[in-house]
């Protein structure tokens, strides 16, 4: 009789345990996203929370600029207030590539810090060019740009990323500019350790006073292309990307209750799909 009671209680416990486990699982179902690639992790522990084709190489668009900023901020003895004179080559590049722009004006003297805002908020490819020209090494502009891109790839190797390669400073490459949701998330996680980077990427908009070539000044106004900052509570970054090959990409991060969730979606078919995907992934990440 005692044995039968024990079996009955054990069976009841198993059933109850299964019921509660099912309820817990049902509370945080794994989301279905339209983007072909996605990855989410706990930024504090590095624990993977979600993955979909997380290691498949894809075009990254302007999310490339996360690495551009990271390389600049890693320069020894960096002076963020050093001024860079805007060259005609940067403007010509924007026109030739029909690229996103910070609307930098030839002859203006813009600080490195301001260029980082111009790089990350309006996704200025002219700002990216200026930074690559400034922080690459060589006697010609082409040599300096090539050197800077080399630094981007060296940093990817240092981070142990085997599925990432850059052939441009802004994502407008020649077919050899790629990464994965997991790799991009790791790049962003590393970049977010820098306080200047964190400050820049969480900024919704800014007005910067720059020096004109005649010694006067003008104000540049930049708005962040990352609408997540205004639509998701706790959002703190990181960077949008888009393009014919890249489609719609976003490397995203948010903090709630002391927990930071960071991740990436690549190749969403539309801006609306991208926004919906990211919200699902963040909600899921915080529920885990």
Query: Any idea which residues carry the catalytic annotation?
Result: 62, 65, 123
Q: 58 — phi, psi (to 5°)?
A: -145, 160
Q: How many Cα neighbours within 13 Å face the side chain of 19?
A: 6
How far apart CA 193 and CA 170 sit, in angstroms, is 21
Which residues does 188 contact at the CB level (< 8 Å), separation at least 6? 66, 237, 238, 239, 251, 253, 262, 264
How far apart CA 124 and CA 126 sit, in angstroms, is 5
Listed in sequence order, the DSSP H helices in the chain are 2-27, 65-73, 88-97, 112-120, 125-135, 141-158, 181-191, 195-201, 228-231, 271-287
Beta bridge partners of 41: 48, 262
Q: Which of 107, 137, 135, 105 is nearest to 118 (CA)?
A: 105
Q: Which of 193, 200, 205, 203 is nearest to 260 (CA)?
A: 193
Beta bridge partners of 233: none
């Amino acid at each position: 009789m005692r044995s039968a009671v024990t079996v009955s209680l054990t069976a009841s416990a198993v059933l109850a345990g299964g019921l509660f486990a099912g309820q817990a699982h049902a509370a945080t179902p794994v989301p279905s996203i339209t983007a072909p690639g996605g990855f989410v992790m706990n930024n504090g522990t590095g624990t993977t929370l979600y993955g979909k084709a997380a290691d498949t190489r894809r075009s990254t668009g302007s999310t490339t600029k996360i690495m551009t900023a990271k390389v600049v901020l890693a320069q020894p003895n960096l002076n963020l207030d050093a001024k860079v004179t805007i060259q005609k080559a940067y403007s010509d590049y924007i026109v030739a590539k029909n690229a996103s722009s910070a609307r930098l004006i030839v002859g203006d003297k813009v600080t490195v810090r301001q260029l980082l805002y111009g790089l990350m908020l309006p996704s200025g490819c002219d700002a990216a060019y200026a930074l690559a020209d400034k922080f690459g090494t060589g006697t010609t502009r082409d040599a300096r740009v090539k050197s800077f891109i080399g630094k981007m790839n060296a940093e990817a190797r240092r981070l142990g990323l085997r599925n990432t390669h850059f052939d441009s400073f802004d994502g407008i490459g020649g077919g050899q500019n790629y990464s994965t949701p997991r790799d991009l998330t790791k790049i962003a996680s590393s970049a977010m350790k820098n306080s200047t980077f964190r400050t820049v990427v969480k900024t919704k908009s800014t007005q910067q006073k720059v020096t004109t070539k005649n010694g006067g000044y003008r104000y540049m106004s930049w708005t962040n292309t990352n609408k997540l900052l205004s639509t998701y509570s706790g959002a703190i970054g990181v960077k949008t990307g888009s393009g014919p090959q890249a489609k719609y990409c976003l490397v995203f991060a948010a903090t709630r209750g002391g927990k930071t969730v960071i991740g990436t979606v690549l190749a969403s078919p539309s801006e609306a799909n991208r926004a919906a995907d990211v919200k699902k992934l963040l909600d899921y990440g915080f529920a885990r």
